[in-house]
Amino acid sequence: MNELKHVSITYSNPKEGRTFMNLLMKRINEHLADQKNGYHANAAMWFKVFLWLGAWAATYLLIISGYFTGWALLGMAILHGFTHLFIAFNISHDANHNALSKNASVNKFFSYSLDLIGVNSFLWRLAHNDEHHGYINYVEIDNNINGYGVVRFSPDDKIRKNMFKYQHLYAPLVYGLVTLNYVTYKDFKLLGDARRNGVEIPAKEIFLLVFFKAFFYLYVFIIPLIMLPITFGQLLLTVVIVHFLLGIVLSLVFQCGHITEGAHYPEIHDDQIPDSWAVHVVKTTCDYGSKNSLLTWLVGGINIHAIHHLCPYICHTHYQSLVPVLKKTVEEYGLEYREHDSFTSAIVSHLKMLKAVGNEEVIPAA
């Protein structure tokens, strides 16, 4: 789906990009030749799909059962909240990239898992698949590095504030508001921005936005207030605590894929990025903890971010085995495969990068 009618930025040297991608895909196809479903979901992936959807339903039913009270209820609410996160990482992300199945209807069905947890899938695809995937780290388009005047992610961000000097200290607190923002305000802002930019939003998608938002608030607020002996204030505080934790984890998982030391920001000349799209992806993307199978399993392969951006239609359960293939191809082209050994080291590098950008220092090398 290409809805970015307002974008005129192009990439240079397309021949180089095609040559790189042709070689990469040849090697990927050879590597996955024995896979029954090719690029798409294998048995391990379908296990995850039903595990996380089942965990979402089971933990919610335990919450409204009335069996848990006090701190135990808060703990169960946090556990349920993290099923939202794991659904987003492991199911919604793949489905909205058409990576689950060869069947478009299957992908569409499971894409609504994102709507289920309060985020409109249509608008998410518009912002993520087109704007972020199409123009990584270009501040004028990539919504992932739009700090809304609160955080400065890019040296090209024209907003200057003295508080940015301390953003490496307060950014994690801001991240805690991210998922709350998504389920309350951001979808409506994306809708307004899209319409102002001339994007035609089907009436069906507007209906689904309203329907799923109503459903989300029904099961998050109305049903618990009816079923449990708690006040609205107690429930609201619980929701805020849960989303604060989710927002921090979600933001760090995604931001560490691009905004770490040595991050690359494209220099635009005459509305053209001076690299092919594929080379731009390699330069702007960083993997972390790619050998950590548990981390990769939990975050749906988002830590193996370069292969995802180059081949978003490949199911994430294949990513870990494809890292050596990508690394070999990248190095043969004289490019740097950027990576951190662990999620912890990536987080530290991310905070160092925020400090450098906030203080308008020279961007540190990895």
Which mean pLDDT values do the consecutive 10-residue runs of the chain (366 residues) have? 58 89 95 86 96 98 94 96 98 97 96 97 91 90 90 93 96 96 93 87 95 97 96 97 98 96 89 92 96 98 97 96 96 93 97 95 68
User: From residue 246, how far is each of 84, 128, 146, 240, 343 by CA, in Å?
Assistant: 9, 19, 19, 10, 16
* Confidence (pTM): 0.93
* Angle formed by the axes of helices 277-284 and 14-31, nearest 10°: 70
* Position 160, amino acid: R
CA distance 275 to 264: 12
- State the pLDDT at residue 140: 86
State the DSSP code for 364: P
CA distance 83 to 60: 10
- State the pLDDT at residue 362: 67
* Position 52, amino acid: W
Domain boundary assignment for the chain: 10-358
- CB 253, CB 299: distance < 8 Å: yes
- Of 285, 353, 279, the closest CA to residue 319 belongs to 285
CA distance 336 to 119: 35
**Owner of token pair 């953003």:** 167
